[in-house]
C-alpha cells in the first residue's frame, strides 16, 4: 500500500533542509539540463492539499476538449489530432478521443477498441513526425494531471540539438522562442496527410488549404 499523503510528505521532508528544500535533482547535473547548478535551488516542498483540486473538464459540460471537438488537423470516427500553438520546438501535436473519456474510466469493451486504435495511431503519428526533414525523434507523453479528457502529447525533437534529448525536452520547449507558425502548420499538414494515407480518417482543411477527402 502506498504511503498516505502525510506519510509521503514526512518521508520527503526528512531529506530536506530547514527551509523544506530538497537537494538538486541528479538531472540538473546532466549535460542536457537547461539550467546551471550554480545558484539553482529547489522550491520549498509544500504540504499535501486534500481533496485535490478538480482537473479541468471533470464535468463534461465544462470541458474545452468536448467543446472543441470539431477543431483539429485530422479526424476519424473516434479521435482527433490537433497542433498546439505557441511552442518552442518544431511541432507539438495532441491526440484526443472525440468523446469524453479518461484513460482509467474507459469501459472495458470500449477500451479494447480505443486502446488498440490508440496504439496504431501513436505508432503512425510517431513514424510520420520522425519522417519530417530535420526532426530526429517524436516524444510521446500521457500525464493527465491538468485535464480530465484523455490527451496524448507528441513533441518533435529537432535534429542535432543534443541538449534537447530526453525528459528535459518539455522544459526546453517552454524556454525556447516561439517556432515559426507557418513552418509548423506546413509540417502538421504533412503529418495529417501521411496519417490519412496510412491509417485512414480525414485531414481537416485549414485556412488557405484546399479540402482533403
Per-residue pLDDT tens for 45-54?
999 999 999 9
- Residue 120 is predicted with a pLDDT of 95
- Residue 110 is predicted with a pLDDT of 80
Stretch (H or E) spanning 96: strand 91-97
Residues lower than pLDDT 70 in the chain = 205-213
Percentage of the chain beyond pLDDT 70 is 96
- Residue 206 is predicted with a pLDDT of 57
Whether pTM exceeds 0.85: yes
Predicted confidence (pLDDT) per residue in 61-80, tens digit: 999 999 999 999 999 999 99
- Residue 105 is predicted with a pLDDT of 87
Contacts 24+ apart (CB under 8 A), 65-72: 65/96, 65/100, 65/147, 65/149, 65/151, 66/100, 66/149, 69/96, 69/98, 71/204, 72/96, 72/204
**Strand arrangement, sheet containing 79-83:** 135-141, 152-158, 91-97, 79-83, 74-75, 202-203
Closest CA to 132 of 166, 160, 156: 156
| Size of the chain, expressed as the number of residues it contains | 213
Closest CA to 99 of 86, 113, 85: 113
Amino acid at each position: 500500500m502506498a504511503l498516505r499523503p502525510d506519510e509521503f510528505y514526512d518521508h520527503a521532508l526528512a531529506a530536506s533542509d530547514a527551509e523544506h528544500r530538497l537537494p538538486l535533482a541528479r538531472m540538473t547535473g546532466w549535460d542536457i539540463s537547461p539550467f546551471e547548478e550554480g545558484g539553482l535551488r529547489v522550491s520549498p516542498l509544500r504540504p499535501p492539499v486534500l481533496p485535490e483540486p478538480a482537473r479541468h473538464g471533470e464535468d463534461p459540460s465544462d470541458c474545452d476538449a468536448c467543446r472543441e471537438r470539431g477543431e483539429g488537423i485530422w479526424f476519424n470516427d473516434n479521435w482527433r489530432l490537433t497542433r498546439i500553438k505557441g511552442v518552442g520546438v518544431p511541432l507539438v501535436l495532441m491526440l484526443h478521443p472525440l468523446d469524453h473519456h479518461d484513460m482509467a474510466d474507459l469501459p472495458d469493451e470500449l477500451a479494447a477498441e480505443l486502446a488498440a486504435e490508440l496504439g496504431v495511431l501513436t505508432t503512425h503519428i510517431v513514424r510520420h513526425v520522425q519522417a519530417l526533414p530535420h526532426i530526429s525523434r517524436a516524444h510521446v507523453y500521457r500525464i493527465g494531471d491538468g485535464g480530465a479528457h484523455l490527451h496524448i502529447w507528441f513533441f518533435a525533437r529537432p535534429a542535432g540539438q543534443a541538449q534537447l534529448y530526453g525528459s528535459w525536452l518539455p522544459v526546453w520547449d517552454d524556454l525556447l522562442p516561439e517556432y515559426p507558425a507557418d513552418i509548423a502548420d506546413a509540417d502538421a499538414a504533412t503529418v495529417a496527410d501521411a496519417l490519412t494515407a496510412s491509417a485512414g480518417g480525414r485531414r481537416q482543411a485549414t485556412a488557405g488549404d484546399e479540402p482533403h477527402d
